[in-house]
Amino acid sequence: MSSTIALSADQFGIVYNILSFGLVSMLACTIYTLVSQSRVLPKYRTALVMSSMVTFIAAYHYMRIFNSFEDSFNHETGALSVGTGHGAFNEAYRYVDWILTVPLLLVEVVAVLALAKAAASSLITRLVPASAAMIALGYPGEISTDNNTKVLWGVLSTIPFLYILYVLFVELSKSLDRQPAGVAATVGRLRLLLIATWGVYPISYLLPILGQSATDPGAFVNRQIGYTIADVLAKCVFGLTILKIAKMKSVAEGMKDDH
C-alpha cells in the first residue's frame, strides 16, 4: 500500500541533503573509530569495533534510504510515493537499521566499561532483548495510517524503553563505583545523550497524531530531519564518546596518552 506526497523543489532538496548528511556522517565515523583502535588498550577495542559496526550498518541503510527516496520521487510532477508498495519510499529501512544498531549501542556501553563477566552478561541479556522489542513494537505504528493504532503500538514500545532506562540508570550505576576518575561522569553524560536523542524519535513518530497528516509534505520533511539528526547524535556522537571513555580508561591503566 502506498500514498502520494507532493513535495516542492525546496522540500525535495532539504530531504536529499539531510539524507546525504546522515550517510557521510556514518561513513566518516566508521573510518575514524576503525583507525583509532591503536589508541586504546586491546581490552577496549571490542567496544570500538561495535561502534564501527553501528555506523557502518547505519551508513548502508542510509544509502538504501537515499536511493529509495530518489527512486520514488517523480521530478516532473513533484509527487513522492510513500509506503510499502514497489517503488515507494519505505521507512522500513530505518527500522531494520535500528533493530540491528540499537542493541549494539547498548552493548558498547557495557563493553567499554570492561565489567566482570557475570555483571556484563547480566546487563546484556536484559538490554538487548528489551531494545529489540522496543524497535519491533514501534514499527506497526510507524506504517499505520490509523492514529489509534499508532498510539497503541507507541505505548507498547514505550514499556521496554522505560525498562532500558531503569537498567541504565539503576543497575548500571552499581557498576560505576570502581571506574577511573571521570569515567562515571562521562557515562552519565552518555546516558543523558541517549535519552535526549531517543526522545526525538517518538516526537517524529507522533507528528501525524499531533495534527500533521501522514501525507502532509511538511510532516514528511520534519520526520526525515528529526530521524536523521537523532541518528547522527545517537550513533556518531555516542560512538565518539565511547572512544573517549576507552582512551580515559586506557590512560588510567598505564597507556601513554598520545595527545
Q: Is residue 259 part of a domain?
A: no
What pairing do the DSSP bridges indicate for beta strands 2-6 and 79-83? antiparallel
In the chain, the amino acid numbered 108 is E
| Residue at 243 is within a domain | yes
CATH of the domain at 53: 1.20.1070.10
Q: One digit per residue, pLDDT tens: the chain, 259 residues?
A: 568 889 999 999 999 999 999 999 999 999 999 999 999 999 999 999 999 999 999 999 999 999 999 999 998 898 998 876 777 888 888 889 999 999 998 898 888 887 778 888 888 999 999 999 998 988 888 777 777 888 898 889 989 988 988 888 888 777 777 777 788 888 888 888 888 888 777 777 776 666 556 678 888 898 899 889 999 999 999 999 999 999 988 988 877 665 5
* Residue 227 covered by a domain: yes
CB atoms within 10 A of CB 56: 18
At 35, the amino acid letter reads V
In a domain, 111, yes or no: yes
Nearest Cα to Cα of residue 93 among 70, 138, 62, 56: 62
- Sign of the torsion formed by the C-alpha atoms of 233, 189, 248 and 166: negative
Q: Domain of 81?
A: 2-252
Q: Is residue 158 part of a domain?
A: yes
pLDDT at 1: 59
Q: What is the pTM of this model?
A: 0.87
Q: For position 237, what pLDDT does the model report?
A: 92
Whether 258 maps to a domain, the answer reads no
Total count of domains within the chain: 1
Provide the grid cell at 33.
Answer: 573509530
Residue 257: inside a domain: no
pLDDT of residue 208: 66
Question: Are 44 and 249 spatial neighbours (Cβ–Cβ below 8 Å)?
Answer: yes
* 241 neighbors 193 (Cβ within 8 angstroms): yes
Which three-class secondary structure string do you get for the chain? CEEEEECCHHHHHHHHHHHHHHHHHHHHHHHHHHHCHHHCCHHHHHHHHHHHHHHHHHHHHHHHHHHHHHHCEECCCCEEEEECCCCCECCHHHHHHHHHHHHHHHHHHHHHHCCCHHHHHHHHHHHHHHHHHHHHHHHHHHHCCCHHHHHHHHHHHHHHHHHHHHHHHHHHHHHCCCCCCCHHHHHHHHHHHHHHHHCHHHHHHHCCCCCCCCCCHHHHHHHHHHHHHHHHHHHHHHHHHHHHHHHHHHHHCCCCCCC
Whether 203 is covered by a domain: the verdict is yes
